[in-house]
Amino acid sequence: MSKSKTFLGIILFSVFMLSCTQKQEVVFPTETELLADSVPMQSIYDRRFMNVYGDYLVVTSAQSDTMIHVYKTPELKLISEFGQRGHAANEIESFPTLGASITDTIYVRGFKRNFLTKILMVNEKADMIDHIKLKFRNTPNDICLISDSTLCFKDIDEHCINLYDFNKQEIIETQKTGNGKFDENDVVDLDLGCLSSNGKFIIYGYQYKKQIKVFDAINLTPIKTINFPMQKEISSSQLSNIEDITLHYTGSTATVNGFYALYRGAAPSDDTSCCSIEFFDNNCNAKCRYKLDRKIFAFAVDEKNGFIYGCNDNPNYIYRYKFK
């Protein structure tokens, strides 16, 4: 190979690497304002977890003796309650954590210590079909099902995302979410974020910086980092108290068509600012920003019926947004 061709190759490679690392402006071609219907809850709930499984919206509650509530979509009629608080068979020993899935199967952690329970709705009643043993040390956060045999979860103690194989009963892949430098003197952990997956990719939106990372769901290989260059980078040492920070991504969910990220853009104590939900397609392209008429803390997307469901501090309602 001639020196000129070698030099040209070096230049092209350098340009390619620069294009991969350079922060580019993220522009949403469509912005839509959404107004909510207020649907009575018909039960007691809190704002922890909600997820759509097939034709059902499942909402958890720590304020009720029966901790899992199932609503028929899209009318949100309460059809089933299960998961009695207690230590007997089929009772919940700890607060239930939902495992997000794009299938009809409901996954709940909490019925048995260190187990994940598979549940199907049969004739509008919950049928527990399996209890899957989880053999790992730390408590999983933001549980997502990649397949019937693979679980993805966030480990906030180790600052990483893990893939866990049910058959092998071991963690098979790990990906760091940051540098892991956090001590008791820091105001916040800048690596904290929200996790979701549709079985093809995994997305991780950061809570204290406006950035989303996308990984391959099979091996956790990084695919893309979605950056917002106008966001001022901060370090935890620069923060003197919690009111100095801005909350960014505080929730996310994935579907077969892409992923939705809940963006706050305000201080934790700001009770006046509304929030938005940002939609990206399966190629990580920004497609639409849905501006909501109020602040919500948890949400789920029902693409089949064209609704976004959300909840906030008001324990009396689920908010329902028609988005398509």
Burial 78-113 (b: 16+ CB within 10 A, else e): eebbbbebeeeeeebeeebbbbbbbeebbbbbbbbe
295-318 pLDDT, tens digit per residue, is 998 999 999 999 999 998 888 899
Buried b / exposed e along 197-210 (16+ C-beta atoms within 10 A): bbbebbbbbbbbbb
Q: Who wins on pLDDT, 10 or 83?
A: 83
pLDDT tier, 25 (very low <50, low <70, confident <90, very high otherwise): low
Q: Which two tokens mark 59?
A: 């909402």
Q: Residue 323 is encoded by which pair of tokens?
A: 């988005």
Paired residues of 302 in beta bridges: 307
Token representation of residue 189: 């952990």
- The DSSP line for 96-127 is -EEEB-SSS-EEEE-SSTTEEEEEEEETTEEE
17's enclosing H/E stretch is helix 3-21
More confident residue, 10 or 48: 48
Percent of the chain with pLDDT over 70: 83
Q: What 3-state class would DSSP assign to 118?
A: strand
| Segment 81-131, tens digit of pLDDT | 999 988 888 888 878 899 999 999 999 998 888 899 999 999 999 999 999
- The pLDDT mean for the chain works out to 85
Question: How far is residue 233's CA from residue 230's CA, in Å, rounded to a whole number?
Answer: 9
* CA nearest to 212, candidates 221, 220, 223: 223
Mean pLDDT (whole number) for 22-34:
81
**Cis peptide, bond prior to residue 74, ω within 30 of zero:** yes
Checking phi first, is residue 233 left (phi over 0); if not, alpha (psi -120 to 50) or beta? beta
* Distances in whole angstroms, Cα of residue 165 to Cα of each of 176, 202, 218: 18, 16, 11
**pLDDT reading at 267 higher than 50:** yes
